A and B are shown apart, each in its own frame.
Chain A
Amino acid sequence: MTVPAVWYLLLSAALFSIGTIGALWRRNAITIFLSIELMLNSVNLSLVAYARILAERSPELALDGQAIVFFVLAVAAAEAAVGLALFIAVYRNRRTIDVNRLDLMRW
């Protein structure tokens, strides 16, 4: 018994939404970052699902989704490295990574 493809997509939407709420609600920069990773992965899920859906209709495009996920993984790795380095730099200067206190953009 196969799973309807749209379920994967709905799951992806739900995970994305959860990630969004996390990113907007939390104050700890690291948790926010984790939420963003969650959002990235939900997108990955939808990409793989689409790759599977398209495999039946147009085989040439079947693997494009997977290729893009591959790149997303690589970019996520780079992003995590730079982002975490930023947190360290910020923490060193401000002794906090609570985004509510990182409000220099106001002035």
Chain B
Amino acid sequence: MSPLELLWLVALLPFLGAAANAALGPRVARHWTTAVGVGAPGLSLLIALGCLVEYAGRMAPEPFQRSFYTWTAGGLEIEAALLLDPLSAVMLFVVTFVGFWIHVYSVGYMGHEEGYQRYFVYLNLFMGAMLLLVLGANFLVTFVGWEGVGLCSYLLIGFYYEQRFPPYAGRKAFIVNRIGDFAFLVGLFALVAKFGSLDYQTVFSAVAADPEGVQGSYLLGLSFAGFVCLCLFVGAMGKSAQIPLYVWLPDAMAGPTPVSALIHAATMVTAGVYMVARSNALYQLAPGIGGFVAVIGALTAIFAATIGLAQTDIKKVLAYSTVSQLGYMFLAAGVGAYGAAIFHLGTHAFFKALLFLGSGSVIHAMGGEQDLTKMGGLKSKLPVTYRTMLVGTLAISGVPLLSGFFSKDQILAAAFEGSPILWVVGIVTAGLTACYMFRLLFLCFHGEFRGTEEQRSHLHESPPVMTWPLVVLAVGAVLAGYVGIPKLGHFDVNVFAKFLKPVFADVTGHGEAHHLSLGLELALMGLSVVVAGLGIWAAWKIYGPGKELEGGKAWAARFPALHRVLVHKYFVDEAYDRLLVAPAAALARGFWRIADGILIEGAVHAGPAVSRLAGELIRMTTTGNVRNYALYFLVGVLVLLAWLIGG
């Protein structure tokens, strides 16, 4: 039996793992929980690798689609089907590979926690939903996975439910995502109305066959393609934390660190990018919305990067970095470089998961401390963590020959083709990224230890079960870039782009956009390396050895207003609270007091009151006095008599 025929098992196994662990319950010995919780995604990874090898081995890979059940609703038929094409193959690899290693890491990280079993139930559930998302052969299956990962995200952010903040953060994530999901659903409805199908291949081939058909005016002054793309992108904004719906992601760091790595860095938050890339046939026909996506992406990238500069919580820095990098991906998708977006998605999954897991290792060693100002000098105590994090930091900063360099460079080149302004924003963001990441590295690992004595004595390198995933991901962070070496003139070894090409086929009919000249491309590449170097140099000057906190404080003192704004994240949360949350809460309170308290409860209480009154009245007739009963008897006879005579 060929592995491809087992594709369904890839998605099913994590669900089975979750069900098994849920059934086993928390009282079973931990190694059983571990065996099930890590075994299921492990098997899933093996099968997925088999599928990928077989699929990639086919010379001209046709999309592989298997339907398991056809759901009929009126005239609408939706298949519960899985699809493996180049795009979902890439996603499948990223999700199963990174996901598996994070599962392994979790065994060590969560080893001493209460709710170990619950954690693995949620995490496996997440894997299943995420795989459903990327393997779904139509919008609806993807949407099911989309909602499933949202649910798991909510559950895992609020994992420490005894504390005050995590459940709040979970709710916030859930509600903000609902806003995006609403738009997503509207987009799906529009698609159903237009094509009577949600199947990717059906819809996109219909679009490709009749590009003019989706470009006519539709709604809100947009073409049909524009409307659907806008809806899908709003959905992506929520899931992938773009302005203005990014606010949930930094708070989502309240969850366990491996969760932040898996869900809020490597996989779930990239679902929006995947969605946009998946719908590229529509986005190609809606250039206006594409531009909008690019602008939002660019804004988010630079906006989050500036906030990242001033944060002192190690996970918050990484969270804003994630938001920023997601902005990059949307920038690429917006200007039509879907391949570059997916490429960056893949490399980012490696190095950002690595960075998060590394920070988890640091937090683990520090006994739960997340404040960078209390760290420092951990280099010697945590050698493996330090080295792997250094690799991750170099990769994200765009240092040549590491994965981030290749993917970021492709995005910047594409942005330059789209609009030089976008490129400027992108390259400034690249500099900022290098700066805040090295700031993190210096504050955390270099200089003198600034924590308490108790923490110092407790410092230790994490167990192998945690360091091995770090090493694996570090290797991935170095090597992942080499599948997509940018095309330079005639030197073209970009396997990745070739592999993905069928998915991103041109449907506009304008032909391939012209490419930048070799000289310009090399110049841009050089510039981005220089900017990255500048960022690292700046971090070194301000936070480097010997400066530590002093350098940062000096800069903060020089620009107090700017520092204040950055530390408070541009006061966006406060603004949302004032403008949206408070009025909504007031409205809800009003409904509670008036609609529920007075109207509904009044109506509800009126029913019992009436029957109670009736009961009291009828009770009065049951006196127990025989003579009263005799009287009723007589009255009854009278009534019967009247009826007999009258009738």
Contacts and interface: CB of A to CB of B under 8 A. Distances in A.
B627 to A, nearest CB: 6
Contacts of B630: 23-24
A20 B631 CA distance: 9
A106 B623 contact: yes
Given A20-B634, A24-B634, A106 B624 contact: yes
B634 A104 contact: no
Nearest to A102: B626
A1 to B, nearest CB: 33
A107 interface: yes
A87 to B, nearest CB: 13
A45 B634 CA distance: 21
Contacts of A105: 624, 626, 629
A86 interface: no
Interface residues of A, number: 14
Interface string A93-107: 000000110111111
Chain A interface main SS type: helix
A24 B627 contact: yes
B626 A106 contact: no
B625 interface: yes
A107 to B, nearest CB: 7
Interface string B608-625: 000000000000001111
Contacts of A99: 625-627
A103 B623 contact: yes
B634 A107 contact: no
Contact of B624 (A23, A25, A27, A103): A103
Contact of B625 (A25, A32, A100, A107): A100
Contacts of A25: 627
Contacts of B627: 23-25, 27, 32, 99-100
A32 B634 CA distance: 15
A30 B358 CA distance: 102
Interface of B: 622-627, 629-631, 634
Interface of A: 20, 23-25, 27, 32, 99-100, 102-107
25 contacts: A20-B634, A23-B627, A23-B630, A24-B627, A24-B630, A24-B634, A25-B627, A32-B627, A99-B625, A99-B626, A99-B627, A100-B625, A100-B627, A102-B626, A103-B624, A103-B625, A103-B626, A105-B624, A105-B626, A105-B629, A106-B622, A106-B623, A106-B624, A106-B625, A107-B624
